[in-house]
Amino acid sequence: MKQLAARARVWLAVVGGMACLSCAGDLGLEPCDIRKSACQRDVFMAVQDVRGSLWDPWLEVPPMRVIGTQQYRAELEAAREWALQADRPYDYLTPALKLLHMIDPEEPPDGQTDFTLSFVAAYYDAVQRSVTIIDRGSGTDLRADVRTLAHELVHAAQERDIGFASFDTWISSLDTANATGSLIEGEAMLYENLVDAKLRSLDVSRIEWDEYHASWIAGTREQIAMDPSPFRLASSGLRYPLGSAYLTDAFLEGAQLGVRRALTAHPDSTARLMAGRKSRDDRPAAAWSCSQPEAPPGHGRVRDDELGAFSLYAFATRLFPDDDARAWSLASAWNGDRFFIYATPEKQLAVLWMLRMRTPDDARLLREALAQSSLGASVQSELEGERLQLFVAQTDLGDFASWRTCSAPL
């Protein structure tokens, strides 16, 4: 999910969408020019055919527009400028993540805009209830365009028969936001793939779905490991293949009703998505002993959150640059976290990340890798069983001991 304006929630299709590997429904479909209303209606009807949507198929197709990359950049920059002038809360998260090298410390101020521009092929605006396609001027691939439009029309259908307000009730942290986004994008990818199968006359029962998703996940992980700002790509990129794998498995098991059931019994963490639907149940974890560690001298708490396993994977790629399997394995061993940001009046930051792993060995391996990495000199750590605490600050605070002091015990 990205926001184009203050209240405009938009659900995105990635640039260069994956090849589709299934088919469903009886309505035929041919590649067509999605700028034309007849094509838009054909794709709209094909989405209804494969999804079994509660959307009335006789309603009008959602409004659509096609814009170029320069116009899209201008809109992103205008939205960013509006946010800066609208007295919105200061973004403490980005500089905090830069301290942990989860976002490139040398990233320019418009780094988020550049990332969005490169990542987005289309979006659905749930406020305007309209679809925007980004025309990149590199030639027309009708099949790819149909896939992209189908993806956004699934989001339109989600708004109609589920409602993004309902999805919002599942979100209480960055981790649950990523988990929810994975399901939203996963459903859109599933039915995008089924629509594309109509174009290819493929049989869903003959598709190697596990191989398809494994290859897609591996490719995404490779991109994240190479990216100087792995946090952004992990948060935005992993939700597509992992969400698709999760809900495709549900579809193969119970068709459209299976998908609805999987959405209703939604996973409450990204770690659960990394594990897959059939791998294990969520394991209950003991409550944190402290709801608010003491702030460092001269600092006040400005944000606390739960970042989740996607974020831990982004961090682990910095610790294991040549061993992605180990980074993924340790991120999969996430069992909860608390992420605290403290700031001085001059916005000098200190960050405390309290991680809880599956086993003491997982926590120890993560700490050892940190000590051997380039971050070891700036990030302090403390290990207690399966719990690992990390601390880093923009100013020299010496040996920070406040994390051992609790200002608000549970």
Q: What is the dihedral of CA 148, 275, 168, 258, to 10 degrees?
A: 70
Q: At CA 290, angle to CA 286 and CA 296, rounded to 5? A: 145
Q: Quote the pTM value.
A: 0.87
pLDDT computed for residue 280 by the predictor = 57
First to last CA, the chain: 33
68 vs 35: CA distance, rounded Å:
13
241, two tokens? 């293949």
93-122: average pLDDT: 84
User: 104-136 as b/e, with b when 16 or more CB fall inside 10 Å?
Assistant: beebeeebbbebbbebbbbbbbbeeebbbbbbe
CB crowding 200-234: b at 16 or more within 10 Å, else e: eebebeebebeebbeebbeebbeebbebebbbbbb
pLDDT for residue 326? 97
**179-199: pLDDT as tens digits:** 999 999 999 999 999 998 888
Over residues 91-95, the mean pLDDT reads: 94
Per-residue pLDDT tens for 137-175?
666 688 888 998 999 999 988 988 888 888 889 999 999
pLDDT bucket at 5, cuts 50 / 70 / 90:
very low
**More reliable by pLDDT, 217 or 6:** 217
Question: DSSP strand E in 69-200: where?
Answer: 120-125, 130-135
Helix axes 230-237, 209-226, angle to 10 degrees: 160
How would residue 343 be classed by pLDDT, with cut points 50, 70 and 90?
Answer: very high
Q: What gap in Å lies between CA 117 and CA 154, rounded to an integer? A: 22
pLDDT tens column, 38-69: 888 899 989 988 997 645 555 678 888 888 88
Q: Which two tokens stand for residue 220?
A: 């995404």
Segments in 100-136 forming alpha helices (H): 111-119
- With 0-12 / 13-18 / 19 or more C-beta atoms within 10 angstroms meaning exposed / middle / buried, residue 156 is buried
Question: Strand 64-68 vs strand 2-5: parallel, antiparallel, or unpaired?
Answer: unpaired
Q: How many CB atoms lie within 10 A of CB 178?
A: 26
Q: pLDDT averaged over the chain? A: 85
pLDDT digits (tens, 9 = 90+) for 205-242: 788 999 999 999 999 999 999 999 999 999 999 999 99
Q: Which residue matches tokens 């992992």?
A: 242
Q: Which of 190-199, 313-322, 349-358 has the lowest mean pLDDT?
A: 190-199
Check: CB of residue 261 under 8 Å from CB of residue 374. no
Name which of 386, 384, 396, 307 is nearest 353 in CA terms.
307
CA 263 to CA 154: how far, in whole Å?
14
Query: What was the pLDDT predicted at 127?
Result: 83
Residue 52 is encoded by which pair of tokens?
Answer: 């079994």
Residue 84: the pLDDT is 65
pLDDT at position 8 over 90: no
Cα 163 to Cα 154, 157, 180, distances in angstroms: 12, 9, 13
Instruction: For 256-276, write each residue's pLDDT tens digit.
Output: 999 999 999 888 899 999 988
85 pLDDT band (50/70/90 cuts)? low
